[in-house]
Amino acid sequence: MNENLKGKVAVITGAGGTICSEVAIDLAKNGVKLALVGRTAEKLEKTEAAIKEIGGECFIFACDVCNSEKVEELADKVYETYGKCDFLVNGAGGNQNAAMPSITQFDEREIDGTLPDGIRGFYDIDMDCFENVIKINTMGSVLPIRAFAKRMARDGGGSIINFASMNSYCPLTRCFAYAMSKAAVVNMTQSFAAYFAPANIRINAIAPGFIANERSKQYLGTPEDGLTPRGQQVINHTPTKRFGKAHDICGCVRWLLDEEASSFVTGVTVPVDGGFLTLSGV
């Protein structure tokens, strides 16, 4: 157990997801009290049960993190329950298939709508979904930062982690909205880190590599059952020759939250990617 984390209070958004559910359980093992946040309570119940099974302390709170009023309600609930908030982990976010074309390059048939059935170009994507992807990945972190940094500042400081992506550095094909928004995460992490430094609030980000989950199996495949062409490209581009596991992120989270271990670290984005960014592919 990390004694520097024991007794601290953390809010984790997206706590029902693959990565942040694992992060929440890992922090609970290190004595952190948790507020588990997600769009629906049902998705959080599995994480809650796992934490309580190991004797951890947590509560769940259904919240649209793009709704400023609900985020303020969340902050009030955390302070009513625990009296403080030391850490905020902004894990809410994601992508939507409807916001993505199914082809990787422009096809002139997009212009007159004659692409074959089942093929979706840029001009066929759902722009409402496109906007929603940008919103959840940006404002879904900005609003919690706004609510909790104000309270952290009153309490003397805290630590915040945002989630970037491999797309933050170089956009993957087809991921227009997701890549745009994850590039913004790196920039806003730097901006807010500089702004809140006088309040003793450190703000950093983690850029996960390709983490295996149920969704990734659909478009990347698995080494056991066979990789898709896209999945094979990822493995070829990853020196460790494997997809990441959610638990691979936990050590970096603990380090960034630990005031003793990372007290002079703020405004950085740490890739946890198996070396993906080290290979140009040439």
Q: What is the pLDDT of residues 191-211, one digit of tens each?
A: 999 999 999 999 999 999 999
Which pTM does this prediction carry?
0.95
Evaluate whether residue 194 is within a structural domain. Answer: yes
For the cut 80, the answer to whether the pLDDT of residue 12 exceeds it is yes
User: 255 is in which domain, residue-wise?
Assistant: 9-99+130-209+244-274
Within-domain flag for 148: yes
User: Based on the structure, what is the number of domains in the chain?
Assistant: 1
| Contact (Cβ atoms closer than 8 angstroms) between residue 256 and residue 26 | no
Which residue intervals of the chain are DSSP H helices?
18-29, 41-53, 68-82, 109-112, 127-155, 176-196, 214-220, 229-236, 250-257
Q: CA-CA distances (angstroms) from residue 163 to 17, 60, 117, 145?
A: 13, 21, 35, 13
CATH number, domain with residue 146: 3.40.50.720
Residue of 79, 82, 178, 219 with catalytic role: 178
Q: What's the confidence (pLDDT) of residue 222?
A: 74
Whole-number Å distance between alpha carbons of 77 and 107 = 51
- Asked whether residue 264 is assigned to any structural domain, the reply reads yes
Predicted pLDDT at 221: 79
83 falls within a domain: yes
Tell whether the model's pLDDT for residue 226 goes beyond 90.
Answer: no
Q: What is the pLDDT of residues 142-169, one digit of tens each?
A: 999 999 999 999 999 999 999 999 999 9
Residue 125 lies in a domain: no
Our answer to whether residue 178 is catalytic in this structure is: yes
Say what the pLDDT of residue 220 is: 80
